[in-house]
Amino acid sequence: MTAPVRRGTRIAHIGIAVEALDALRPFYRDILGMPEVPLDDADGAAIAGLAAGESLVELLEAKSPDSPIGKFVSKRGPGIHHVCFAVDDLDGTLERCRAAGLRLIDQVPRIGAEGKRIAFLHPSATGGVLVELSEF
Ligand code: ZN
C-alpha cells in the first residue's frame, strides 16, 4: 500500500450568499472571466460555481426562506457566507478539531455540492468565520 499523497491545505471555494444567481453570475463569468463549473444544489440552495484557478467562487441562492442561506440573507443580507478549505485528511482534521474542543456543526462528514465529503465548523470556533472542510 502506498502512502497518501500530501497536497497541503488549500482554499477550495468561497461561498457567497446572493439574492439572485442570475444577477451576479455575469460579473464573475463575463467581467472577471471565470469559467462556470456545474454544481449540484445543496442545503436548500441553488449554486453557481465559478473557477478562479483551482479555487471556486460558489454563489448560493436560497430556494426557500427557511433554508440556511435564506435565513442568512434575511438576517445579514447578501455577502460572504463561508470559506471552504480542502485538507489532505478530512477525518484526521475533524478529529484534531474535536480534540481541541472546537465546536463542530457536522460531527461526521457528509456529501457537499461538489460530490466530495465535507464538514462545517461552527463560527464560534474559527474567529467568526463559518469554515467548511472538504476532502480533495
Ligand atoms: Zn461550501
Global pTM value = 0.92
Quick check: is 81 in a domain? yes
Whole-number pLDDT of residue 115: 87
Quick check: is 22 in a domain? yes
Centre of ligand 1 to C-alpha 16, Å, is 9
Quick check: is 5 in a domain? no
Quick check: is 111 in a domain? yes
Quick check: is 35 in a domain? yes
CATH of the domain at 124: 3.10.180.10
Whole-number pLDDT of residue 42: 87
Whole-number pLDDT of residue 3: 64
Quick check: is 113 in a domain? yes
Boundaries of domain holding 102: 10-135
Centre of ligand 1 to C-alpha 65, Å, is 19
Q: Is 54 exposed, middle or buried (0-12, 13-18, 19+ CB in 10 A)?
A: exposed
Which residues, chain by chain, have CB under 5 Å from ion ligand 1?
15, 84, 132
CA atoms within 13 A on the CB side of 134: 20
Quick check: is 3 in a domain? no
Centre of ligand 1 to C-alpha 84, Å, is 6
- What is the count of structural domains for the chain? 1
pLDDT by residue, tens only, the chain of 136 residues? 566 678 899 999 999 999 999 999 999 999 999 999 999 898 899 999 999 999 999 999 999 999 999 999 999 999 999 999 999 999 999 999 999 999 999 999 999 888 899 999 999 989 999 999 999 8
Quick check: is 4 in a domain? no
